[in-house]
């Protein structure tokens, strides 16, 4: 078993005491992992002791967090929700511990639960708490600080998923560099062999071109397979808990509404109670202490916000699946407008801070294609467009039919591409980005994908004004590819 939990700066809240406890929890989980992974089987007593130590320290950490929130006068509704997360976690982990018979497999499952839950809690509730503390200390009202922190958290909520995608591309980039080294070595061997055999320059260029084409094809297949597996895994792991949580929230909302109706009925009967001053005072004190009017308003708002959040999660998962078309490597009919929308949602974090995206979509007939590959082309064009815009700008996406073809155009108001470079941008490994910032394969792979679809990928650009890439593919698809599957959604 590898180290279960890697510390990352993304977990930091900026509060030394809380971050120190987070690191301590991480260290305890990793120590327990090392014991379980040891070649010598750990005793049941040792495993149970490690579990109890982790649970006890987690409770201590929760108590410190709750005291900090009260001390810093955070929003009461937020504090209640945060504390409720702590109590729910304690119930779950205690149940796991009590039902455990000390077997190693159960200890591993418990560590996986700890790692997953704490990672999510660090990145969501704890970071939200830290941000509110900073806002309140700067003079903002607690409730307003809660509202603003929630708005700012929308982008952060997707960060772990986006980090996973980034890590995937880092892995692929490393493999690219290894393949590049192999290509360079092969080129040297081919050059030496060519000199020995007297092969002419045209034959050497043809060999290099074939190697680059093979490399691009392998890279594209590996990348899309990896993204498809990631999307399928994310959907499987997220959809099940989201489903039952959403169902429970709906049921809970009904229960709360029934309880409020009961409270209203009692309130209507209040004038019929004996006019006992002590009894009347007791009722008044209870209403004041529980802040019933605020509770009535806030509890339904909390439920609605929770259901809205679950809805966003479901849309994100659906967009990831639609973007990658996991398990759909065959030629099928697909709606390119839908594919563009899904791709926009996947790369939105790259675009939203400095670009305005304008859509000019017209209804399109279903196109026979490999949808995941065309989505990869759209992703490359959109990310390149964002990188070309240095401060603020606009990206316009238009779709139309032209005879038997569908045309997708991505236009940006970025810095533009010089004419001499336009002739080389589709060459494998050619890039204008600094070393380490790009592999030079994005546009070459996009060009190869469109070529396999019997289409064209063209560019028009003017320095200082912007760039426009046009993708043209036949609606019927390549004549030499077999039809397969139903219309892809």
* pLDDT tens per residue across span 448-474: 889 889 999 999 999 999 999 999 999
12-16, 238-242, 245-249: segment of lowest average pLDDT: 238-242
Say how far apart CA 78 and CA 219 lie, in whole Å: 47
Q: Left (φ > 0), alpha (ψ -120 to 50) or beta: where does 14 sit?
A: left
The overall pTM is greater than 0.75: no
- pLDDT score for 475: 95
Q: pLDDT class for 320, splitting at 50, 70, 90?
A: low
Say which range, 268-277, 302-311, 405-414, has the weakest mean pLDDT.
268-277
Average pLDDT, the chain: 77
- Rounded to an integer, the average pLDDT of 205-227 is 63
Helix axes 292-324, 277-290, angle to 10 degrees: 30
- By residue count, the chain amounts to 489
For the chain, the structural domain boundaries read 9-157, 328-474
What CATH code would you report for 328-474? 3.30.565.10
Better-scored residue on pLDDT, 399 or 124: 399
Q: Is 6 helix (H, G, I), strand (E, B) or coil?
A: coil
**Mean local confidence (pLDDT), 339-359:** 88
**454 conformational bin, left if phi > 0, alpha if psi -120 to 50, beta if neither:** left
- pLDDT at site 41: 56
Burial of 433 (0-12, 13-18, 19+ CB in 10 A): exposed
Which range, of 34-38, 46-50, 219-223, 266-270, averages the lowest pLDDT? 219-223
Taking 60 as the threshold, does the pLDDT of residue 192 lie above it?
Answer: yes
Least trusted range by pLDDT, from 39-48, 61-70, 355-364: 39-48
pLDDT tier at 265 (50, 70, 90 boundaries)?
confident
**Structure-token match 């892995």, residue found:** 171
Condensed to tens digits (0 to 9), the pLDDT of residues 89-141 reads 888 777 777 766 666 666 676 777 777 777 777 777 888 888 899 999 999 99
Query: Of 108, 113, 125, whose CA–CA distance to 62 is shortest?
Result: 125
Q: Specify the pLDDT at position 20.
A: 87
CATH number for 9-157 (one of 3.30.9.10, 1.20.120.50, 2.60.40.10, 3.40.50.2300): it is 1.20.120.50
pLDDT at 92: 77
Q: Which of 63-77, 199-213, 339-353 has the lowest mean pLDDT?
A: 199-213
């Amino acid at each position: 078993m590898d180290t279960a939990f890697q510390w990352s700066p993304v977990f930091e809240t900026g509060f030394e005491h809380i971050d120190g406890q987070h690191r301590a929890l991480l260290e305890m989980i990793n120590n327990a992992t090392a014991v379980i992974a040891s070649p010598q089987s750990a005793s049941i007593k040792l495993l149970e002791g490690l579990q109890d130590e982790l649970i006890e320290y987690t409770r201590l950490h929760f108590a410190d967090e709750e005291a900090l929130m009260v001390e810093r006068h955070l929003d009461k509704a937020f504090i209640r929700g945060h504390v409720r997360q702590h109590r729910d976690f304690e119930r779950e982990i205690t149940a796991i511990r009590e039902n455990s018979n000390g077997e190693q497999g159960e200890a591993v499952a418990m560590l996986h639960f700890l790692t997953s839950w704490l990672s999510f809690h660090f990145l969501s509730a704890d970071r939200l708490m830290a941000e509110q503390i900073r806002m309140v200390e700067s003079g903002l009202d607690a409730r307003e600080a809660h509202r603003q922190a929630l708005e700012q958290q929308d982008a952060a909520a997707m960060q772990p998923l986006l980090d996973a995608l980034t890590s995937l591309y880092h892995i692929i980039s490393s493999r690219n560099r290894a393949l590049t080294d192999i290509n360079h070595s092969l080129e040297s061997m081919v050059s030496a062999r060519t000199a020995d055999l007297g092969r002419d320059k045209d034959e050497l260029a043809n060999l290099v071109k074939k190697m680059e084409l093979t490399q691009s094809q392998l890279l594209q297949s590996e990348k899309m397979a990896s993204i498809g597996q990631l999307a399928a895994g994310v959907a499987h792991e997220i959809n099940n808990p989201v489903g039952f949580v959403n169902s429970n929230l709906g049921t809970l909302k009904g229960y709360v509404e029934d309880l409020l109706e009961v409270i209203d009925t009692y309130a209507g009967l209040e004038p019929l109670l004996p006019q006992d001053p002590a009894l009347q005072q007791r009722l008044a004190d209870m209403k004041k202490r529980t802040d019933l009017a605020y509770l009535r308003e806030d509890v339904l708002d909390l439920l609605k916000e929770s259901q809205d959040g679950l809805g966003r999660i479901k849309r994100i998962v659906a967009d990831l699946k639609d973007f990658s078309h996991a398990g759909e490597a065959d030629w099928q009919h697909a709606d390119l407008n839908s594919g563009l929308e899904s791709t926009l949602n996947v790369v939105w974090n790259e675009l939203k801070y400095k670009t305005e995206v304008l859509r000019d979509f017209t209804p399109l007939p279903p196109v026979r294609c490999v949808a995941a590959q065309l989505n990869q082309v759209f992703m490359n064009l959109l990310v390149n467009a964002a990188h070309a815009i240095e401060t603020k700008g606009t990206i316009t996406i238009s779709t139309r039919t032209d005879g038997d073809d569908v045309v997708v155009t991505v236009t940006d108001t970025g810095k533009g591409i010089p004419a001499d470079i336009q002739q080389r941008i589709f060459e494998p490994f050619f890039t204008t980005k600094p070393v380490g910032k790009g592999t030079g394969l994005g546009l070459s792979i996009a060009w190869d994908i469109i070529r396999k679809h019997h289409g064209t990928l063209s560019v028009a650009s003017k320095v200082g004004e912007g760039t426009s890439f046009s993708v043209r593919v036949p609606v019927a698809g390549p004549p030499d590819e077999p039809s397969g599957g139903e219309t892809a959604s």
